[in-house]
């Protein structure tokens, strides 16, 4: 594999000093907000993260506050960001910092990876930005920049490619490790763009870039295709009595673990199966009507949903129902419950 020329270091540091975006988490060296921003930025755009980051820190300004936040409030703060396992892991990690690290944020790449939800990249980002440790932080942006810079045709979806790029970067990391790592990430996010749109004419590394010299920028990086997502048919119920709506809680493991949802089940139910399902939840319907179909895409699975609005009597005894399902006042539902965006096509009716 071609080496990375060491001349990139001063070029990138200069470029970063002049061109970096002014982002809220770049005004601190405190590991807690840096960690929070890194977790939020996984799978979420910078602009979308900004208001969540601000609000989260207002409610939860410290590891201690995060560790003791009630679960429902945590999910409510995260509502709309998706990938709720990130929020769960944040809280688990905060509790681990208190129980296993005496409340002191771990300060090196190795110890950071002992915290739930922190892998090689996030540990590298926190260790270098907050503590100045000279370790790489290789995310998707860095993989793309390095693949082009070295004209590597290695598959960047493979862990061994990531490990090899990490080894190439390791001896180059300067004292300003945090700025260097951020400069590579920033270059990938704003200049060395994916999908055939790199802005090579404004790239500080243009004169050193092998892919540019060899004329194959648009073919790089190489990435093997992900397996297709599984399609799952589901039937969703909006069960209402005029002021209250039925919710159920998902199991503690798996997709959307531990979150509240509109009652739903696998398959597209016909009317006979629908009645059986409603009764199995402990409700007796007065009437129902079909709502529009909707689709939601998760990382590995795609839900193709049909849905019914089901009316039950307001006299319905709320102690009835089942242990899987309960009625919640609509105002309280909107205020206190974080319903996954998979159900947004139907929650809008409340
Ligand atoms: S010259 Fe173009 S391809 Fe090479 S690193 Fe810069 S933006 Fe990326």
Check whether 319 has a pLDDT greater than 60.
no
Q: What phi and psi, each to the nearest 5 degrees, are found at residue 95?
A: -65, -40
Length of the chain: 350
Ligand 1 atom having least distance to the Cα of 191: 7
Residue 139 CA to residue 82 CA, distance in Å, equals 20
Q: How high is the pLDDT of residue 329?
A: 93
Check whether 82 has a pLDDT greater than 80.
yes
Check whether 323 has a pLDDT greater than 80.
no
Q: Which band of pLDDT confidence, cut at 50, 70 and 90, is reported for residue 322?
A: low
Q: How high is the pLDDT of residue 315?
A: 73
Q: How high is the pLDDT of residue 127?
A: 98
Q: What mean pLDDT do residues 28-57 have? A: 96
**Bridge partners (DSSP) listed for residue 311:** 240, 287
Q: What mean pLDDT do residues 258-270 have? A: 95
Best of 19, 149, 220 for a ligand 1 pocket test (most atoms within 8 Å of beta carbon): 149
Q: What is the CA radius of gyration of the chain?
A: 24
Minimal CA–CA distance to 236: which of 145, 307, 166, 160? 307
Q: What mean pLDDT do residues 40-50 have? A: 94
**Nearest CA, atom 2, ligand 1:** 200
Residue 147 CA to residue 294 CA, distance in Å, equals 39
* Sign of the Cα pseudo-torsion (142, 20, 113, 70, in order): negative
Q: What phi and psi, each to the nearest 5 degrees, are found at residue 286?
A: -85, -40
Q: Is the pTM value of this prediction over 0.75? A: yes
Q: Which residue of the set 38, 133, 186, 240 is catalytic? A: 38
Check whether 95 has a pLDDT greater than 90.
yes
Q: Which band of pLDDT confidence, cut at 50, 70 and 90, is reported for residue 321?
A: low
The Å distance, Cα 102 to ligand 1 centre, comes to: 45
Say whether 318 is catalytic.
Answer: no
- Ramachandran class of 206: left when φ > 0, alpha when ψ lies in -120 to 50, beta otherwise: alpha
Name every protein residue with a CB atom under 6 angstroms from any ligand 1 atom.
Answer: 145, 148-149, 191-192, 198, 200, 203, 205-206, 209, 211-212, 217
Q: How high is the pLDDT of residue 26?
A: 96
**Nearest CA, atom 1, ligand 1:** 206
Range scoring the smallest mean pLDDT among 81-85, 180-184, 259-263:
81-85
What is the per-residue pLDDT across 117-127, written as a single tens digit (0 to 9) for each?
999 999 999 99
Ligand 1 atom having least distance to the Cα of 204: 6
The three-state DSSP-derived secondary structure of the chain is CCCCCCCHHHHHHHHHHHHCCCCHHHHCCCHHHHHHHHHHHCCCCHHHHHHHHHHHHHHCCCHHHHHCCCHHHHHHHHCCCCCCHHHHHHHHHHHHHHHHCCCCCCCCHHHHCCCCCCCHHHHHHHHHHHHCCCCCCCCHHHHHHHHHHCCCCCECCCHHHHHHHHHHHHHHCCCCHHHHHHHHHHHHHHCCCCCCCCCHHHCCCHHHCHHHHHCCHHHCCECCCCCCCEEEEEEEEEEECCCEEEEEECCCCCCCCCCEECCEEECCCCHHHHHHHHHHCCCCEEEEEEEEEEEEECCCEEEEEEEEEEEECCCCCCCCCECCEEEEEHHHHHHHCCCCHHHHHHHCCC
**Nearest CA, atom 8, ligand 1:** 192
Contact indicator for 32, 63 with CB cutoff of 8 Å:
yes
The Å distance, Cα 104 to ligand 1 centre, comes to: 40
| Average pLDDT of the chain, as a whole number | 94
**Nearest CA, atom 4, ligand 1:** 209
Q: What mean pLDDT do residues 1-23 have? A: 96
What is the per-residue pLDDT across 272-303, written as a single tens digit (0 to 9) for each?
999 999 999 989 999 999 999 999 999 889 99
Best of 184, 198, 210 for a ligand 1 pocket test (most atoms within 8 Å of beta carbon): 198
Residue 212 preceded by cis peptide, ω within 30: no
Q: How high is the pLDDT of residue 83?
A: 86
Residue 294 CA to residue 301 CA, distance in Å, equals 14
Q: What percent of the chain has pLDDT over 90?
A: 87
Ligand 1 atom having least distance to the Cα of 144: 8
Q: What phi and psi, each to the nearest 5 degrees, are found at residue 220?
A: -115, 150
Contact indicator for 4, 173 with CB cutoff of 8 Å:
no
* End-to-end alpha carbon distance in the chain: 57
Q: Please, what are the domains in the chain?
A: 8-219 (1.10.340.30), 230-347 (3.90.79.10)
Q: How high is the pLDDT of residue 93?
A: 98
Contact indicator for 312, 242 with CB cutoff of 8 Å:
no
* Comparison of pLDDT for 98 and 226, the residue scoring more: 98
């Amino acid at each position: 594999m071609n080496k990375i020329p060491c001349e990139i270091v001063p070029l990138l540091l200069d470029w970063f000093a002049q061109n970096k975006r002014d982002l809220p988490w770049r005004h601190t060296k405190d590991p807690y907000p840096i960690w929070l921003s890194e977790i939020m930025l996984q799978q979420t755009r910078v602009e979308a993260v900004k208001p969540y980051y601000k609000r989260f820190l207002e409610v939860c300004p410290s590891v201690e506050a995060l560790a003791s936040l009630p679960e429902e409030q945590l999910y409510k703060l995260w509502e709309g960001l998706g990938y709720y396992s990130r929020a769960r892991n944040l809280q688990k990690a905060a509790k681990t910092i208190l129980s296993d690290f005496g409340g002191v944020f771990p300060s090196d790449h190795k110890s950071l990876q002992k915290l739930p939800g922190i892998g090689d990249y996030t540990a590298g980002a926190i260790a270098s930005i907050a503590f100045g440790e000279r370790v790489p932080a290789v995310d998707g942006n860095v993989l793309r920049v390095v693949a082009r810079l070295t004209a590597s045709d290695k598959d960047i979806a493979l862990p061994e490619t990531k490990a090899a790029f990490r080894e190439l970067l390791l001896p180059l990391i300067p004292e300003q490790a945090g700025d260097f790592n951020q400069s590579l990430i920033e270059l990938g996010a704003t200049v060395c763009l994916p999908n055939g749109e790199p802005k090579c004419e404004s790239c500080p590394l243009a004169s050193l870039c092998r892919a540019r010299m060899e004329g194959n920028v648009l073919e790089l990086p190489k990435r093997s295709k992900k397996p297709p997502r599984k399609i799952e048919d589901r039937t969703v119920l909006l069960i209402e009595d005029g002021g209250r709506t039925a919710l159920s809680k998902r199991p503690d493991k798996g997709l959307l673990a531990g979150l509240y949802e509109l009652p739903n089940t696998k398959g597209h139910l016909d009317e006979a199966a629908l009645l059986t399902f409603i009764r199995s939840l402990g409700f007796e319907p007065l009437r129902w009507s079909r709502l529009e179909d909707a689709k939601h895409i998760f990382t590995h699975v795609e839900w193709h949903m049909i849905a019914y609005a089901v009316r039950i009597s307001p006299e319905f005894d709320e102690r009835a129902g089942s242990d899987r399902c309960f009625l919640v006042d609509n105002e309280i539902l909107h205020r206190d419950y974080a319903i996954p965006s998979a159900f947004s096509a139907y929650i809008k009716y409340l």
